Amino acid sequence: MSKITEKKLAQRDIQFILGTLLRVGVILSMSVVLIGGIIYLIGYQGLNVDYSEFVPDAKYASLEAIVAGLKEMDGKAIIQFGTILLIFTPITRVVFSVFGFLIERDYLYVMIGLFVLAVILFSLSNKLVG
Amino acid sequence: MSVLLFTVIVLAGAFLAGLVGSLTGLGGGVIIIPLLTLVLGVDIHYAIGASIVSVIATSSGSAAAYVKEGITNIRIGMFLEIATTISAIFGAVITIFINPSYIAVVFGLILLFSAAMMVRKKVDHSDVDTTGKLAGFFKLNGSYPTAEGVKYYGVHNVVGGFVMMFFAGIISGLLGIGSGALKVLAMDNIMRLPFKVSTTTSNFMMGVTAAASAVVYLHRGQIDPGIAMPVTVGVLCGATIGSKILVKTNTDKLKVIFAGVVVFLALQMIYNGLAGNL
């Protein structure tokens, strides 16, 4: 097989993998959100909500806190966990794209992909919110 | 309002927002935020946090199909994500320091712009001129499959597109929307990509851009599970059904009618923002 067709095939595989990854990520995370939503509605149904003023509630604002809440089967924590899975779906997509470019030996785009990841990781490190 | 009633109302509203957003190409975020703030009296910071989560869901869901078809230009997407992720995080960081009234006014202006973009006559500026130096260096020129065979295209004004994307990212992070209208403007008019490539690539980038700012919102407590859950579920369901209907219907008339609704929402946001009601 010539080099060019090999490259084309690799590109197709990557496209297929990226597409499948995105779909599976969305379905998985939304299932978790739905399950959490049902538990939340059962557990909190009698309560009243008031969102008229933004009061920063740091209860489920970090991964550690959400995992702790999961152990107590708190609906809110399960929803947040699903949300985190959803946030990680496109981030994982970037990771896979970097591998794809690595296979294609396109090092310029490996660097670009890693840079985008670094930007997101910096945001994840929670240094930006005072 | 009780938890159950609030969830049901938001779920229904988000479903409608997702449906109409996908039929018109506007996206769900620009409709759900006015619904939450104007109708339900939700603080705009909560509305923004919930909306950005729904943007990740809908854009990732539809990008999945486009990527497989090979229309999306992954290189252009990755290259421009440098601009959009940095600026989206910047927008998400500064949004809390801005008076909600001003955010509402900016939101209204972006809504007006989106409505204009929706009804304007689209002109395809794409060509096969691949002499652009930066486009060549970053390997942005590409091709995509059509019914008549593979179509090639050249990419123009990379710097202009990059700067416009930076602006689109700030707006996305600031307002919790996908800012698809701005992204498509950068790719259609400035970089002169074919429509199919620009819309699918913009969609592809939206997930990463939104994820970058969503992390900031999450840390700040702006993503409240009680709002984010019905918003995301509703918008995603509406958008999925919308994309199924879209294939079968001509949406030109719908777009004109809907542009009227969007203009109304925009003026409401601007008025209430200026009056300090939000």
Kindly indicate the confidence band of residue B154, based on its pLDDT and cuts at 50, 70 and 90.
Answer: very high
Chain B residues in contact with A67 by the CB 8 A cut-off are: none
CB of B104 closer than 8 Å to CB of B269: yes
* Cross-strand bridge partners of residue B164: none
Q: What is the DSSP string of B182-201?
A: HHHHIIIIIS---HHHHHHH
CB of B201 closer than 8 Å to CB of B75: no
Q: For residue B2, what is the nearest residue in chain A, using CA coordinates? A: A48
For the segment B171-207, what is each residue's pLDDT rounded down to a tens digit? 999 999 998 889 988 998 999 999 889 988 998 999 9
The dihedral region occupied by B145, where left means phi > 0, alpha psi between -120 and 50, and beta the remainder, is beta
Kindly indicate the confidence band of residue A58, based on its pLDDT and cuts at 50, 70 and 90.
Answer: low
Top mean pLDDT of A95-109, B121-135, B245-259 is at: A95-109
Q: State whether B85 and A75 contact (CB < 8 Å).
A: no
* A–B interface: beta-carbon pairs under 8 A: 196
Chain A residues in contact with B75 by the CB 8 A cut-off are: 109
State the pTM of this model: 0.92
Domains of chain A, residue spans = 3-124
pLDDT of residue A4: 61
Is A10 near chain B, with CB under 8 Å?
no
pLDDT of residue A129: 61
Domains of chain B, residue spans = 3-275
Q: State whether A108 and B219 contact (CB < 8 Å).
A: no
What is the average per-residue pLDDT within B153-166?
95
Q: Residue for token digits 């690539």?
A: B201
- Per DSSP (E only), the strands in B25-67 are none
Residue B145: its H or E element:
strand B142-146
Q: State whether B227 and A51 contact (CB < 8 Å).
A: yes
Q: State whether A61 and B221 contact (CB < 8 Å).
A: yes
Q: Residue for token digits 């930076």?
A: B166
Q: What is the ipTM of this complex?
A: 0.92
pLDDT of residue A127: 65
| Residue from A20, A22, A107 to probe the interface with B (highest B Cβ count within 10 Å) | A22
For the segment A20-41, what is each residue's pLDDT rounded down to a tens digit? 999 999 999 999 999 999 999 9
pLDDT of residue B245: 83
Q: For residue A41, what is the nearest residue in chain B, using CA coordinates? A: B4
